[in-house]
Amino acid sequence: MDNTKNILGTESIGKLLIKYSVPAIIGMMVNALYNVVDRVFIGNIPGAGPLAITGLGVTLPITTIIMAFGTLVGIGATTNISIRLGESKRKDAEKNLGNSITLGVIIGAILTIVGTVFLDKILMIFGASNDTLSYARSYTSIILIGTIFSIVAMMLSNLIRGDGNPKLSAIIMATGCFTNIILDAVFIFGFNMGIEGAAIATIISQGITAVWGLLYYTRGKSNVKFDKANLKLDKKIVGTIFVIGAAPFAMQLANSLVQVTVNNSLKIYGGDLAIGAMATINSITMMFVMPAYGFVQAMQPIVGFNYGAKKYDRAKETLKITLIATTAVLVIGALLVQLIPHVIVGIFNKDVELMSMTINGLRKYLFALPIIGISIVGTNYVQSTGNAKIAIVLSLLRQVIILIPMALILPKFFGLDGVWYAQPTADILACIFTGIVLVKDLKRYSSKNDKDTILEELLDEVKAV
């Protein structure tokens, strides 16, 4: 790991971001494909596609909650490990590894039990109707069984990348994804298992990913070593994982809350079909936004290490390059959405009425896509430097504080279009606030860097005397 530490502190930022971002993007895209592929197959089930994909749209807040907890532990532990290694505290880093694995299993088990016991009530609150409840229940009841696999797989993907092996992380995730695609086709169409087949395919694939990730650590191939003694939870370590991971967790959890709010607004102003349209829109959004989060995940260990090592200029350079790359990807996505939406939407469903509603919603929902990199990258940069409280506020600003009121107020004036316009309205306002905070934060680090330089010069003068 010493070599990895030297690379993070000395190698060209551009090269580091390429090295870490490509596997990270693949990992994020693969993670998104678990849901996207399910929706593509389910949306094309003969005779049941529109209602089935609407039922799946109702389940989205549940899968988002599961992702939120995987993000909480995964990013919290990975960022914390990077900072500890930057501070040359290897044993603390190894304790974080062991504690994160235990946390993933415990949280997964709790979510499985709670979700199964209250499933029907949860689904109705999340926007299910009498027509879509059976589809939503069939899918979610199976997905909940594999919650531990989902959380551990996501968590280990982050940890392995942060351990200096982003290529392996991408390979593991890609293997799980391709397994899911194959099993989807076999179970849904080969065995005529319908929506249940999609859920079974997903949990088997995530199980493979989780086990493979665990083997990487238990077989001693990792740089940060696994020790069974570190599986015992330490309150202080758990606290630091939760604090550092709180910002991305809040963002994901907020996404779930927004999805529930939006689903219910869609139900009122557009009916079940509108929820089905949103399920497709969310899938398309993930495919464009996940690369941005891939860049962010690549940025985190670089920023965390250099900040911990007081190399603030390198941390700022990492932010700049990440922001440029993320914006470029999002601009391309925005152009595709506006120019060829019928091609993209047609992959998910061929129902004429559903396609028309989805295309209309997609163009409006992703209107502000080119600028959201400011919010995504800026928030995670602040989080990577240990400013968890500010990062949480910025996360909640875009996905809760602004978006939820917009999703409730705008439809009263613009009907269904108001639901579609709520997201870009929140994106624009959040980017403005995040930009202001980021500029102030960078100025503070510049001042801090100047002070460190002055101290170093004074020490050199003392030594000379």
pLDDT in tens, 149-206: 999 998 998 898 888 887 888 788 889 888 999 999 999 888 888 889 989 999 999 9
67-110 tens-digit pLDDT: 899 989 998 998 888 888 777 788 888 898 999 999 999 999 99
Q: Can you tell me the distance from the alpha carbon of 369 to that of 331, in angstroms, rounded to the nearest whole number?
A: 7
pLDDT of residue 408: 93
Q: Can you tell me the distance from the alpha carbon of 445 to that of 448, in angstroms, rounded to the nearest whole number?
A: 5
Say whether pLDDT at 454 is over 50. no
Say whether pLDDT at 451 is over 70. no
Q: In the structure encoding, which two tokens stand for residue 74, read together?
A: 């995964």
pLDDT of residue 394: 85
Name the strand (E) or helix (H) holding 253: helix 235-269
pLDDT of residue 421: 95
279-336 tens-digit pLDDT: 899 889 988 888 888 888 888 888 888 877 778 888 888 898 999 999 999 999 999 9
Q: Cα-Cα-Cα-Cα dihedral of 295, 167, 181, 284, to 10°?
A: 10
pLDDT of residue 385: 76
High-pLDDT (> 70) share of the chain, %: 93
pLDDT of residue 31: 67
Q: What would the mean pLDDT of 32-59 be, rounded to a whole number?
A: 78
Enter the DSSP assignment of 309.
T
225-260 tens-digit pLDDT: 888 888 999 899 999 899 888 877 877 887 788 889
pLDDT of residue 452: 53
> If you average pLDDT over every residue of the chain, what do you get?
85
Which of 301, 328, 326 lies closest to 314, judged by CA? 301
What are the respective helix, strand and coil percentages of the chain, to the nearest 5? 90, 0, 10
210-224 tens-digit pLDDT: 999 999 998 888 888
pLDDT of residue 73: 93
Q: Can you tell me the distance from the alpha carbon of 191 to that of 250, in angstroms, rounded to the nearest whole number?
A: 39
High-pLDDT (> 90) share of the chain, %: 40
pLDDT of residue 442: 78
pLDDT of residue 258: 83
Contact 79, 384 (CB under 8 A): yes
Which of 217, 220, 224 lies closest to 96, judged by CA? 224
pLDDT of residue 455: 42
Contact 74, 51 (CB under 8 A): no
pLDDT of residue 297: 81
Query: Looking at this protein, which amino acid is placed at residue 388?
Result: A
Centroid of chain to Cα 18: 19
pLDDT of residue 284: 92
Say whether pLDDT at 48 is over 70. no
Reduce the DSSP state of residue 8 to 3 states and report it.
helix
Q: 370 vs 153, 322, 324, 374, 443, CA distance in Å? A: 30, 14, 11, 9, 25
Residue 21 — pLDDT band, cuts 50, 70, 90? Answer: confident
Q: What would the mean pLDDT of 116-138 be, rounded to a whole number?
A: 91
Q: Can you tell me the distance from the alpha carbon of 381 to that of 87, in angstroms, rounded to the nearest whole number?
A: 19
Contact 146, 116 (CB under 8 A): no
Block residue for tokens 């030594």 = 463
Q: 31 vs 55, 108, 414, CA distance in Å? A: 21, 17, 34
Say whether pLDDT at 458 is over 60. no
Q: Is 464 exposed, middle or buried (0-12, 13-18, 19+ CB in 10 A)?
A: exposed
pLDDT of residue 3: 54
Say whether pLDDT at 119 is over 60. yes
